[in-house]
Amino acid sequence: MKPNKKIYMVAGYNTISMGTGRKEFNPKKERPGLEHYLKEAGQATLKQIGGAANVDEGVVGNFMASRFNKQGHLGAFMGMIDPAMRLKPSLRVEGACASGGLALVSGIKSVLSGSAEVVLAMGVEVQNTVKAIYGADILAGAGWFPRRKEGHAYFFPGQFSDRAGAYFQKIGREKARKAMAKWFRNAVENARLCPTAQEFENKVADLEALGLMEPNPKSFTEHINVFDCSKVSDGASSIAIVTEEGLKRTGIPLKNAVEVVGVGHAADDITALPEDLTRLSTISYAAKQAMKSAGITVDQLATIETHDCFTIAGILGMEAIGLAEEGKGADFVLEGHTSRTGKIPVNTTGGLIGWGHPTGATGVHQAVTIWEQLTGNAGAAQISIPADRPYGMTINMGGDDKTVVAIVFKKTV
């Protein structure tokens, strides 16, 4: 999808990614719910754009509030965020862990259609309401549920353990495990620079040694350990999608905006098994579509936010995006190319492994991170954006490579 007019994203905000690892988190005490996170993130963005009166529409990305929180109908929470949002068109969209990305796509389509000049786009998930084993059953709904009985007790860790095992056979277990541990290290080191990240307070000295802990199939899965997994997280993210007229209305200077120049959105057959466990074919397709519509090649990207729900997904993502040849993703990571000082810094605030994965919010969080980086507002996590590479890209995946949203952003000034 190539935008037929100028579209920008502005005024991003992330709540804390709450869960184990944060000092504020206590599983024995009552914690904030959906309303708290929606209100905090939504009000923060509205404040930056001059208030809710400037908004035409709202959209919320969410995966499973109906089961984690027994709450549906999230589009109607916009009026709770701010009374001036009452009676404005709002809706909730869902595409498993790509729900946040779909919220952005929905907002982009609204401004392209002419129905809105300013859209408040949000993502939210509160998952620490059930024990992990029960959460795994809920999250299995991101896949084809009839296959649930055939899968691992921890359904998606089992799916990506199978992908890791296939990759071990392809390139060798030792190299792959070292690359997965390096990915974990990079994620946590980046998260330590972002105060809202779930791993912000992680003090472990030797992260790669921790990441290399041998998987234990008796207690978890055969090929990945718990450090290869993103954590259960609660949180929300928000950003405004605006036209040129919307920029004027909100009073946002161009230097504080990023331009949306390319979008790729693809969904594959959820009932079908992967043709090749070592390839993320839907990510590959959507990323290529996004870059094609933006008129750029992968070497023009300055940074990427990719969907590393598991370390192996991050490595396979490098190949799917086209940064590394097939079977060379592990080498690409081990050579330091994805670190914040490498060839192309990836997941600069920690990604899903380090920042956290409130499933419905992840795609919006990724956009907020790119917005921060391209406008120079990433604080301690800021990287250098070369003048000849003014682009960033987000990759938000739902299920096991079944729904993918890829968006290319361009620095404006």
Query: Strand, coil or helix: what is 372?
Result: helix
Query: Quick check: 390 pLDDT over 90?
Result: yes
- Rama region for 244: left / alpha / beta (φ>0; ψ in -120 to 50; rest): alpha
pLDDT at 150: 82
- CA distances, 184 to each of 37, 169, 180, 226 (Å): 27, 21, 6, 11
Are residues 167 and 268 located together in one domain of the fold?
yes
More confident of the two residues 152 and 161:
161
Are residues 101 and 225 located together in one domain of the fold?
no
**237 belongs to a structural domain:** yes
* Structural domains of the chain, count: 2
**141 belongs to a structural domain:** no
The DSSP string of 58-74 is EEEE-SSHHHHTS---G
Q: Are 290 and 407 in contact (CB under 8 A)?
A: yes
- Read off the tokens for 361: 């919010």
**361 belongs to a structural domain:** no
**Residue (of 62, 108, 60) closest to 88 by Cα position:** 60
Are residues 40 and 171 located together in one domain of the fold?
no
Query: In the predicted model, what is the mean pLDDT of the chain?
Result: 97
CATH assignment at residue 350: 3.40.47.10
Q: In what order do the strands lie in the sheet with 90-93?
A: 90-93, 57-61, 118-126, 234-242, 8-14, 257-267, 403-411, 391-398, 301-305
pLDDT band at 98 (very low <50, low <70, confident <90, very high): very high
pLDDT at 271: 97
Q: Residue with structure tokens 């920008």?
A: 8
**221 belongs to a structural domain:** yes
Are residues 170 and 281 located together in one domain of the fold?
yes
Digit-coded pLDDT (tens) for 131-142: 888 998 999 999
Name the residue range of residue 176's domain.
Answer: 153-230+262-355+367-374+385-411
**55 belongs to a structural domain:** yes
Report field, pTM of the whole predicted structure over 0.85: yes
> Alpha-carbon distance 216 to 218, whole Å?
5
